[in-house]
A and B are shown apart, each in its own frame.
Chain A
Amino acid sequence: GAVVSQHPSWVICKSGTSVKIECRSLDFQATTMFWYRQFPKQSLMLMATSNEGSKATYEQGVEKDKFLINHASLTLSTLTVTSAHPEDSSFYICSARYRRFGTYYEQYFGPGTRLTVT
C-alpha cells in the first residue's frame, strides 16, 4: 500500500506559539490531502481538504486563519496551528488520496501528530 509520513509525531508547545506539522506521501504523488482532528475515543473530524497548488477548502467551523494549510508540492502538505491555545491540544492526522485506477481512489493516513499546548 501507499505510505504517508507525518512529522513530528508529538509536540509540546507553549500557549501563543505556532506549530507546523508536515505530511508527506512517500511513494506516490497526491494532488489531494486531508487534515483531520481526532478527540479521544471519537471519530475523525475533517478539518480541511488540501489541493496541490491551490487554496485549501475548510470545513464549516474550522478557522482558516488559525489552521494554515499549504500544499506546495505533490508530496507535501503542511498544517500550521497559529497562536496555539490549550483547547487546540488534540491528535492531528493527515491523509493522502491515492488513485488506484480510473476514478477509484483510496485514502492513506499518516501516523498522526499529538499536539499538547501548555
Chain B
Amino acid sequence: GQQLNQSPQSMFIQEGEDVSMNCTSSSIFNTWLWYKQDPGEGPVLLIALYKAGELTSNGRLTAQFGITRKDSFLNISASIPSDVGIYFCAGQPGNQFYFGTGTSLTVIP
C-alpha cells in the first residue's frame, strides 16, 4: 500500500529536550492520526486531527494538521525516558489509512 514520508527516521535526544517529527504525502488527506508503538505491542493512538490547520494537544504532545492537508507534525515537549518508542503517522484520503515509515525515538537520561 501507499506509504507516507515520515522524518526523521530516528532520533537520539537528551531527556528534557523537545522533539519534532513530521509526515508528508502527495495526496490530500482528510484525517491525520499519530500513534506510538512500544516494543512487542500494538500502536496506541495518541492524537487525531480532522481539519486543516487544527492544532491538538495531549499532555506534552502537540500535533498539527498542515494547512495544505498534505502534511502533519508531532511535537513532544520536555521528553522523558518513557517517550522511547516508534511513532507512526497515518493519513486517510478516503476509506483507507496509510501509514508512515515510523520515527524511532531514543531518550538518553
Q: Which of A's residues lie within 8 Å of B, judged by CB?
A: 1, 4, 6, 32, 41-44, 46, 49, 59, 91, 93, 95, 100, 103-112, 114
Q: What is the bound-complex CA distance between A32 and B92, given in angstroms?
A: 14
**B33 an interface residue at 8 Å Cβ cutoff?**
yes
A114 and B92 contact, CB distance less than 8 A: no
Q: How far is the CB of B102 from chain A (nearest CB, A)?
A: 5
Contact with A along B16-41 (1 / 0, CB 8 A): 00000000000000110101000011
A43 and B99 contact, CB distance less than 8 A: yes
Q: Given A105-B31, A105-B92, is A1 in contact with B45 using a C-beta cutoff of 8 Å?
A: yes
Partner of B50, one of A1, A104, A109: A104
Report whether over half of chain A's contact residues are helix, strand or loop; otherwise say mixed: strand
**B59 an interface residue at 8 Å Cβ cutoff?**
no
Given A44-B99, A112-B42, 11 more pairs with CB closer than 8 A = A6-B42, A32-B95, A46-B99, A49-B96, A104-B30, A105-B97, A106-B33, A107-B97, A109-B42, A109-B44, A109-B45
Q: Which residues of A contact B48 (CB under 8 A)?
A: 100, 106
A108 and B3 contact, CB distance less than 8 A: no
Q: Which of B's residues lie within 8 Å of A, judged by CB?
A: 1, 3, 30-31, 33, 35, 40-45, 48, 50, 88, 90, 92, 95-97, 99-102, 104
B42 and A43 contact, CB distance less than 8 A: no
Q: Given A44-B88, A105-B31, is A111 in contact with B42 using a C-beta cutoff of 8 Å?
A: yes
B42 and A114 contact, CB distance less than 8 A: no
Partner of A44, one of B40, B41, B43: B43
B41 and A59 contact, CB distance less than 8 A: no
A108 and B45 contact, CB distance less than 8 A: yes
A112 and B44 contact, CB distance less than 8 A: no
Q: Given A106-B33, A112-B40, is A43 in contact with B45 using a C-beta cutoff of 8 Å?
A: no
B41 and A111 contact, CB distance less than 8 A: yes
Q: Which residues of A contact B102 (CB under 8 A)?
A: 42-43
Q: What is the bound-complex CA distance between A111 and B42, given in angstroms?
A: 4
Contact sample, A vs B, 27 pairs, CB 8 Å cutoff: A1-B45, A6-B42, A32-B95, A41-B104, A42-B102, A43-B3, A43-B88, A43-B102, A44-B43, A44-B99, A46-B1, A46-B99, A49-B96, A59-B1, A93-B42, A93-B43, A100-B50, A104-B30, A105-B92, A106-B45, A108-B45, A109-B42, A109-B43, A111-B41, A112-B40, A112-B41, A114-B40
